[in-house]
Amino acid sequence: MADDTALTSSERLESALRRVAPGTKLREAIDNILRARTGALIVFAEEDKVAPLISGGVDIDVSMTPMMLYELAKLDGAILLNFEGSRIIHANVQLMPDASIPSSETGTRHRTAERVAIQLDTLVVSISASRDVVSLYVGNTRHFMEEIRVILTKANQALQALEKYKSRLSQVSTSLSALEFENAVTLHDVLLVLQRSEMVLLIADEIERFIVELGAEGRLIRLQLEELMMDVREDRQAVLMDYLPVFSAYAVQVACASLARLESEELLSLTRVAEILGYDSGINPSEVHLSPRGYRMLRKIPRLPRVVIENLVANFGSLEEALSASLAELESVDGVGPSRARDIKEGFMRLRELNLMERYG
């Protein structure tokens, strides 16, 4: 594993959690140390980086195995692994980090771990001998590892919340589709879909973190998450492609990134979402009527390649024009032809009936 200092704090913590997740050799060793109540201080860093902080100890340089790490934890000093965690370099060493580095920890082992992690900007695992607590220090970030049953409970609660938010997203998405066929879309309808999409994605990201911590124990949670999140990101992108005032692939990418950065409180403001799309903050979203370009609806038609969708949008300019196009007009678009033209016409009819039925019953 390469040095991860270029990653964000959140990404680095996630990388660290993957290394110690259930099913890994490191987690097996940590669990054994916890059961034995011996405690441990494990540092992940290359030899040249950690050498100035070492005093005493034993040079080992052997492959890391759960049993070897467990046995070495019975000694009083710290254990040093290479950055990837594949080899044990030193054992029973005394670490002497810079004492001027501020630490909020009270215990000697945890205070040393925090300072070493900050000074070396690396991962340090501290296992308490008396409290059954495992703490991860990644640079300036500290994370307490919870028991699997606790994480599973939180993950299942988050899944229940995701189901409710996904149901609401499906409702506003169906409403938007029906309005598109009626050419009666307002900016308010679009903002509702994007707002609900981001709320769903926010919860999904939280569940992803739980899955990382669960490791091999999180397979069932991942399957449920994948089922619930099917096409959510793709649909959000299609909405942006249809309704951004100035459309380009780069504009869609920027809008997706900006929406993802919104805090929970900001997501509650449709005005804030509208600003990200490029609309003036002073407008009334319910009074702004919009016409979709057609990307979102065309991608719902089976077996329609992306390049053909792009050709159709480029040719007709809007969903309304594509809906009213004759078979001959559809056939004339590059990549369509007679057979695909009929599929598009029939696809539009099925989607219209389905969405109107779902909305009005």
Q: Could you report the per-residue pLDDT of 111-155, keeping only the tens digit for each?
A: 999 999 999 999 999 998 777 789 999 989 999 988 899 999 999
Domains within the chain, CATH numbers bracketed: 9-145 (3.40.1700.10), 147-292 (1.20.1260.110), 293-350 (1.10.150.20)
| Residue 325 to residue 348: CA distance in whole angstroms | 11
> Average pLDDT for residues 197-218, to the nearest whole number?
94
Q: Which of 58-62, 238-242, 350-354 has the highest mean pLDDT?
A: 238-242
For residue 1, is pLDDT > 50? no
| Residue 105 to residue 253: CA distance in whole angstroms | 42
For residue 2, is pLDDT > 70? no
> Average pLDDT for residues 156-163, to the nearest whole number?
97
| Residue 40 to residue 79: CA distance in whole angstroms | 8
Q: Between vectors from CA 13 to CA 7 and to CA 15, what angle results, nearest 5°?
A: 75
The pLDDT, as a whole number, for residue 24 is 93
Task: Tell me the whole-structure pTM to 2 decimals.
Answer: 0.83
> Average pLDDT for residues 335-346, to the nearest whole number?
93
CA neighbor of 211 nearest in space, from 199, 202, 203, 219: 219
> Average pLDDT for residues 282-306, to the nearest whole number?
93
With beta carbons less than 8 A apart as the criterion, state whether 71 and 60 touch.
no
CA neighbor of 36 nearest in space, from 64, 78, 68, 71: 71
Q: What does DSSP assign to residue 136?
A: E
| Residue 61 to residue 58: CA distance in whole angstroms | 10
User: Using 50, 70 and 90 to split pLDDT, how confident is the model at 7?
Assistant: low
